[in-house]
Structure 1
Amino acid sequence: MKRLLPAPWLTLALWLLWLLLNLSLSWGQLLLGLLFAVLAPLLMAPLRPLPIRLRKPGTVLRLLGRVAVDMLVSNLQVARSVLALGRREPRSAFVTVPLQLHDANGLAALAAVCTVIPGTVWSELALDRSALLMHVFDLDDEARFIEHFKATYERPLMEIFQ
């Protein structure tokens, strides 16, 4: 069964998404969606990193909550900075964050977090995965930003994935 459906939850999600996007429960759409939902994970399986083993589900929930709060706060901070652009220029900077997280799934999750938090952009990952280059829209204190980033995002992801 695992050979036919390497990711059963993904297959189910793709099938439901197909049906939702097509707004039809006709036999043709049901079968075409099922074909797509089964074949896509099979064809993409070589591209997937190692299987994910989530440890500490409580940490996952706390991290998701923290990311949601940070998204809201960061949106407001960026909006305030943009609206006050004539009064004070933002102090944009590239910051090199040393990393202890080396798990591919953890790094992918960290990249997703950086993507959804306004004001930060994941710019480059060192080849040996030892450092991350980030662009920060308005940086007050580099050392404080690095410590906050590591404590808030990297450490929980290390607990979850390593």
Structure 2
Amino acid sequence: MMRRLFPAPLLSLALVALWLILTNPYSVGNWLMAVVVGVAVPLLTQSLRPTPVRFSHPWVAFKLFMRVGRDVIEWNWRVLRGTLARGERMPRGAFITVPLDLRDPNGLAVLAAIMCVIPGTIWSEIALDRSALLVHIFDLDNAEHEIELIKSRYERPLMEIFE
């Protein structure tokens, strides 16, 4: 019974918390709406989740979260410097193809989110067989270096967490 009402309990808790954070006055109405959202959204989107999430290694997930936070701050500065640059120092944006070893759909979804959150990068396309990822980099100096950074910083930890 509980599993049918709460198919994704962590998602429900996260949605309730997010709703309460975004709607500041903690009135009874906001609490009720938070619970409705926390129960309804996972139920209505249950068919959209392709596989159950098997989440392991929370310490690796925490380190990945901190790494992404640090990279967001670092890339914000790189993008700011690039937008203010003139002449030879202008950024040279380009696409790179990252070969993927990660196959878990949930891990790929997290990788997509990471690539879209980090300023200066954007997830552009994934191969139909999920073997490669096309990413646009705002300022690309060395494609091989950027590919290795994506694989070591994001893909490998996600493989450890989800596979």
Per the normalisation by structure 2, the TM-score is 0.87
Q: In structure 2, how many angstroms separate the alpha carbons of the residues matched to 1:110 and 1:39?
A: 26
Q: In structure 2, how many angstroms separate the alpha carbons of the residues matched to 1:85 and 1:99?
A: 35
Residue aligned with 1:40, SS: helix
Higher Cα Rg, which structure: 1
What is the CA distance between 1:148 and its match in structure 2?
A: 1.5
Residue aligned with 2:45, SS: helix
1:57 matched to 2:41: no
Moved more, 141-150 or 80-89: 80-89
Q: What is the number of residues matched between the two proteins?
A: 161
Q: In structure 2, how many angstroms separate the alpha carbons of the residues matched to 1:133 and 1:120?
A: 10
What is the CA distance between 1:159 and its match in structure 2?
A: 1.0
Name the Cα RMSD after superposition. 2.0
Find 2:25's aligned residue among 13, 23, 46: 23
Q: In structure 1, how many angstroms separate the alpha carbons of the residues matched to 2:139 and 2:50?
A: 34
Q: In structure 2, how many angstroms separate the alpha carbons of the residues matched to 1:67 and 1:30?
A: 31
Moved more, 65-74 or 121-130: 65-74
Unaligned stretches of 5+ residues in structure 1 = none
Letter in 2 for 1:154: E
Q: In structure 2, how many angstroms separate the alpha carbons of the residues matched to 1:63 and 1:113?
A: 10
Per the normalisation by structure 1, the TM-score is 0.88
Q: In structure 1, how many angstroms separate the alpha carbons of the residues matched to 2:70 and 2:19?
A: 31
8 Å CA contact 1:19–1:25 kept in 2: the answer is no
What is the CA distance between 1:87 and its match in structure 2?
A: 4.7
Q: In structure 2, how many angstroms separate the alpha carbons of the residues matched to 1:78 and 1:58?
A: 30
8 Å CA contact 1:63–1:156 kept in 2: the answer is yes
What is the CA distance between 1:86 and its match in structure 2?
A: 4.1
What is the CA distance between 1:132 and its match in structure 2?
A: 0.3
